[in-house]
Amino acid sequence: MTTLTMTTLDPRSRAARRGLSDLSIRNLFIIPTIIFLIVFNIFPLLYSLGYSFTDFRASSNAPANFVGLDNYRTLLNDPFIWSNFAITAKYVIVSVTGQVIVGFGVALLLNREIPFKGLITTLLLLPMMLSMAVVGLFWKLLYDPSFGIINYAFGLGRFEWLSNPDMALYAVALTDIWMWSPFVMLLSLAGLSAVPKHLYEAAAIDRAGPIYTFFRITLPLVAPILMIAIIFRTMEAFKTFDLAYILTSQPTTEVISIRLYKMAFQEWQTGMSCALAYIVLIMVIAITNIYVKYLNKVKER
Amino acid sequence: MAAVQTTSERALNRIAIVGVLIATIIFLAPIYWIVSTSFKPRNLATTIPPTVLFEPEISPFVKLVLRRSQLREQPTPEEYAAAPWWERLVFDGGEKVVRDGQGNVQLSGYPSRFVNSLIVAIVSTVLAVGMGTITAYGFSRFKVKGEQDWLFFILSTRMLPPVVVAIPMFLMYRVVGLNDTHLGLIILYTAFNLSFSVWLMKGFIDEIPKEYEEAALVDGYTRMEAFFKVVLPEAATGIAATAVFCFITAWNEYAFALIMTRRTAQTAPPFIPSQVGSGLPDWTVIASGTFLFLLPVAIFTFLLRNHLLRGMSFGAIRK
């Protein structure tokens, strides 16, 4: 990072002789940010990598003993951890699928001639801007079996959403769908508005039906941007913590982030939790890589 | 669309309008319910069937900011008459206002949490946007070896799951005494928003023609002067949009705040859910706290509406 070629300024110009050189300005502007991120993101991760090979417990004064790969071995052989991952996977699939269907569906509707389109679009985007934890909490009231408005509005009687172990994960996913469908909608709208109108006109001249037009024109052209939305939401859903933690305490909704939180800050198995954090981290990096590769591919066009 | 609308086109449009209407009602219903519950008398918050029409009250907001305790014995008529209007509202709810030895009214935990949220969000936003803007300028205007790799590194720090970062940060903060301090949370949120700020600002600065600065350099400005007097004013809209996004992210953040703060520096997101403990929660008070907390974000969303796409996609998609 130190040996670089610069867009050099003509050395004879007056400005180049006064003030800082371009090279020092560039370093002054970039290096502090890089250092900040290394100190507060990379260094902590190295710190916890060290602890992941120990039996350290932050709640006791006992010194940490080196245990090698034991933590990793224990975790990867623990069926409960695998069930946490399975719950997370189920949550990701249900929630992202729901967001894509609802978000893309509403975007298709909004892409027609709708009065007050701008205002309605902004209103629909509101949920994703709000705090997951704070709004998520309020969904407890909405889901309440006796006086919640959801059961009332849909005539579900005293349907148990959060206290039913089989239903709780879907309830959390439903709230997530409410919050994040607007995100898919926003990106889909951008994709839809970029579809050239003449393609539809040509299709109309050829008397193509709406279903044909949708699958042959709309969907292929919106697909790249929709894919960005899907990968982004998958990544976020995989990391999910707030909603599930606040809405329920069912074991059936214990996604991997909650397991990690409990292991680290309730059971105080610090060393073990650092190892689990690393397993999660590797998975996140893998998904992030796919995302960035795809993003670059789309950007190039 | 085609100049002549066919009957089926018009029918489809009508279906779309109905569909959008239903979607809008469903998406806004939870938000409406928060707002309406925050103005309800307590006994109407949890009724079967739910109460839609009622006479709005201000009492949940009064109760939100005051420390209260159960009323053991009814106040005498004189006491009641002498009490200010807000104290009477608390009496009406079967509670009394808690006072200290000097008779000063005690506040609930909410106001201080709200102020903490403001401090942490504002300071971290200023830091993240300030550093992010200059770094974005550096990447945008100068040749940096391995630029794409550095930018990817910056982006990747944002993708880390909060709990994963929080474990070592908690241990390190414990050593240096930063747990439950504003500074500790500010550092975390600045680091978290910095990558976002660099990416978004790079997009905005890339759009400013280089010729502007070059003209200024020819006029005898130094590079620094050109940056402050030419580039920054041109980037003002982008800076404002980035700042609002960073503010909202820091304002809404929950996991770090839950782990790193207990009391002194606790922000509103971990505090509000902690009010729903055992027993019957007073949903009107929770709703009023939620409403006040969501209000700034709702206002910002309207101000940001033309930049939402860009911000939410890390600057990947521009209109």
Q: Which secondary structure element, helix H or strand E, spans residue A297, and what is its range?
A: helix A270-300
Nearest to B133 by CA among B208, B220, B218: B208
Q: Just give the CATH number of A70-300.
A: 1.10.3720.10
**Average pLDDT over chain B, rounded to whole?**
91
Q: Indicate the pTM of the whole model.
A: 0.91
Min Cα–Cα distance to chain B from A109, Å? 5
Place of tokens 């309605």: A120
Are B288 and B302 a contacting pair, CB within 8 Å? no
User: Which chain A residues contact residue B223 at CB under 8 A?
Assistant: 9, 15, 19-20, 22, 25
Q: Which residues pair with B181 in a beta bridge?
A: none
Residue-level pLDDT at A113: 87
Residue-level pLDDT at A300: 65
Tell me what the mean pLDDT of segment B11-39 comes to.
94
Residue-level pLDDT at A150: 93
The answer on pLDDT for B134 being more than 80 is yes
Min Cα–Cα distance to chain A from B2, Å? 6
Mutate which of B244, B317, B318 to disrupt the A interface (most A C-beta within 10 Å)? B317
**In this structure, what are the phi and psi dihedrals at residue A196, rounded to the nearest 5 degrees?**
-60, 135
Min Cα–Cα distance to chain A from B62, Å? 20
Are A244 and A255 a contacting pair, CB within 8 Å? yes
Residue-level pLDDT at B319: 60
Give the chain A residue nearest B195 (alpha carbons). A37
The answer on pLDDT for B6 being more than 80 is no
Residue-level pLDDT at A73: 96
Give the chain B residue nearest A293 (alpha carbons). B152
Tell me chain A's radius of gyration from C-alpha atoms.
Answer: 25
What does DSSP say about strands B68-70 and B95-97: parallel, antiparallel, or unpaired? antiparallel
- In a 3-state reduction of DSSP, which class is residue B95? strand
As a whole number of angstroms, the distance between CA A124 and CA A116 comes to: 12
Is A274–B167 a contact, with Cβ atoms under 8 angstroms apart? Answer: yes
**pLDDT one digit per residue (tens) for chain A, 301 residues:** 444 444 455 544 554 556 788 899 999 999 999 999 999 999 999 999 999 999 999 888 888 899 999 999 999 999 999 999 999 999 999 999 999 999 999 999 999 888 999 999 999 999 999 999 999 999 999 999 988 999 999 989 889 999 999 999 999 999 999 999 999 999 999 999 888 888 888 888 888 888 888 898 899 899 888 988 998 899 999 999 999 999 998 999 999 999 999 999 999 999 999 999 999 999 988 888 887 787 777 766 6
Size of interface A-B (CB pairs under 8 A): 309
What interhelical angle do A117-129 and B7-37 show, nearest 10?
40
Residue-level pLDDT at A5: 43
At A25, list the tokens: 């300005």
CATH of B109-312, one of 3.40.50.980, 3.40.50.620, 3.40.640.10, 1.10.3720.10: 1.10.3720.10
Residue-level pLDDT at A3: 42
As a whole number of angstroms, the distance between CA B222 and CA B48 comes to: 71
Min Cα–Cα distance to chain A from B246, Å? 12
- Name the residue among A13, A45, A112 with its Cβ closest to that of B12: A112
Between B207 and A297, name the one with better pLDDT. B207
Place of tokens 């879907």: A170
Domain with CATH 1.10.3720.10 in chain A: 70-300
Which residues 60-99 on chain B approach chain A with CB closer than 8 angstroms?
none
Residue-level pLDDT at B234: 95
Are A92 and A235 a contacting pair, CB within 8 Å? no
Total residue length of chain B: 319
Domain ranges within chain B, ordered by starting residue = 7-37, 67-97, 109-312
Between A297 and B205, name the one with better pLDDT. B205
Is A270–B167 a contact, with Cβ atoms under 8 angstroms apart? Answer: yes
Are B162 and A260 a contacting pair, CB within 8 Å? no
